[in-house]
Structure 1
Amino acid sequence: MLRIEPHAQPISAEILELYCKIQPSTIGHLTDFGYVRGLRPLFQPLHLLGSALTVRLPHTDSAALREALEIAQPGDVLVIDMSGDEERACWGEFRAYKALAKGVTGAVIAGCVSDVSILRKLGFPVFSQGISALTTRSLELEGEVNTCISVGGVAVKPGDLIVGDEDGLFVIDPGQAKRLGLAALEKQLREQRSRIKLGYEKLAEGRQLHEPKSTE
């Protein structure tokens, strides 16, 4: 039996704008909570930001994911709990096409993906545990959409803030997002002032520093 709950309230534009400027590695200096373990970006560089649309699949059956894509809204991130299945891929080329058409900003999968070369060409941000040619089926047995799930050791609720890049992935409670985001932004500003003070800003931008020529 499929369980489809109502769509959660999206993350506010104010919070999204704040987190556009924040790196997950900065968040990792401020908290351990919400860090997703064991998932890696499918390609680099990559930036992922949006509201969690959660999906829970019972191993082989991915029918609930089809339903999630139907109700997806712009700015959603699909966060998929494969119930411990580390062998089957629930995500591939045609689901990515559907997600892009709906304005979904990425997918976080506690499981595998397939069609990797096309996903990379599409530039659709994906975090997953691995890659597999063995896929799920749409069997209509059971599954859940917009319920609390578990991904990478983190409980994820519908509407949670998802922030990721090539350094890693965080899930943040919307009620805590502004306080944490402002603290992270201030830390990044302090770091930038330190780069300038120490003369490292060119190195940080990928430009080589040159020693001053001797006047002798």
Structure 2
Amino acid sequence: MFKVHPRVQGVSPKLIDLYQKVDPSTIGHMTDFGFLKGLKPFSRPIRFVGNAVTVRIPHMDSTAVHKALELVEAGDVVVVDMSGDDQRSCWGGMVSYAAKAKQVAGVIISGCINDVTEILELELPVFSLGVSPLTTRILGIEGEINTIVSVCGVSIHPGDLVVASDDGVFVINPKDAEEYAITAIQKQDAEIEMKKQIDAGVSLAHLSGAEKYFR
């Protein structure tokens, strides 16, 4: 059975603009939640921010992935939950070509990818668990689109904000995202001044507060 739910636009242009200035690792100073630990960027440098379109497939059957590419809009991030299959690829050159044509911002795969050369040539930003020549097939068994999925232990809802950089991937409910972004930008701006003080001879331990534990 296939379940296709309407695309959810959860991310506002304001959030997209805010998070263009935020690295996931800066958010890592504030929370342990929402990080897709274990995924690796297919190439570097890499950076994208976008609205999640989610897909869940049953291991071998990637029929729903192809259908989802009809629903995505420019700036979306395709997020594929492969139901625990970390050995097989559901994402290759042809789906990458279709995604690039739809101007997706990036792709998140909880399994492997293939057609390395084609994806590199397309310059499509992709995070995955690795590369594999063992692929899925169009079997018409089942799948779900724009449903809650699980990637690396993180629940991702359609319309969630996805933020990816060379440091990794962070996913958050748009309702909670602005507060984190503002704090992260303030922290990143403060680091500019800290570097100036280090250049002036002030110790990092003093600036960070670490020295108090050595008194």
Scaled by the length of structure 2, the TM-score of the pair is 0.91
How many residue pairs get aligned? The number is 200
Q: Quick check: 1:81 aligned with 2:81?
A: yes
3-state secondary structure, aligned to 1:30? coil
What residue in structure 2 maps to residue 129 of structure 1? 129
Distance 2:153 2:165 in 1: 18
Give matches, 1:1-216, under 5 Å.
1-199=1-199
How far does the alpha carbon of each residue in 1:127-146 deviate from its partner, in whole angstroms, 9 at most, with x for none?
Answer: 00111001100111100000
C-alpha distance in structure 2 between counterparts of 1:192 and 1:51, whole Å: 30
Q: Distance in 2 between matches of 1:73 and 1:42?
A: 22
Whether the aligned pair in 1 keeps the contact of 2:47 and 2:125 (CA below 8 Å) is yes
Q: Is the 8 A contact 2:100 2:122 kept in 1?
A: no
The equivalent residue for 1:208 is none
- Give the secondary-structure state (helix, strand or coil) at the position aligned to 2:120: helix
| C-alpha contact (below 8 Å) 2:74/2:102 kept by paired residues | yes
Letter in 2 for 1:181: A
One-letter amino acid matched to 2:138: S
CA–CA distance in 2 between the matches of 1:136 and 1:48? 26
- Structure 1 CA distance, aligned partners of 2:28 and 2:163? 11
Deviation at 1:121, TM superposition (A): 2.3
The equivalent residue for 1:213 is none
In the alignment, the residues of structure 1 paired with residue 16 and residue 57 of structure 2 have an alpha-carbon distance, to the nearest angstrom, of 28
2-structure distance, mates of 1:142, 1:82: 12
CA distance in 2 between partners of 1:196 and 1:169 (Å): 29
Distance 1:197 1:12 in 2: 37
5+ residue gaps, structure 1: 201-216
User: Deviation per CA, 1:76-102, whole angstroms, max 9, x where unpaired?
Assistant: 100000001112110011111111111
Deviation at 1:10, TM superposition (A): 4.1
Task: Tell me if the contact between 2:90 and 2:113 (Cα under 8 Å) persists in the aligned partners.
Answer: yes
The 2-side partners of 1:23 and 1:196 are apart by 21
Query: Amino acid of the residue matched to residue 149 of structure 2?
Result: I
1:117 CA drift (Å): 2.1
Which residue type is aligned with residue 162 of structure 1?
V
The one-letter code matched in structure 2 to 1:101 is: A
Q: Within 1, Cα distance between the matches of 2:192 and 2:3? A: 47
| Contact kept in structure 1, 2:46 and 2:165, CA below 8 Å | yes
Query: Separation in 2 of the partners of 1:116 and 1:176?
Result: 36
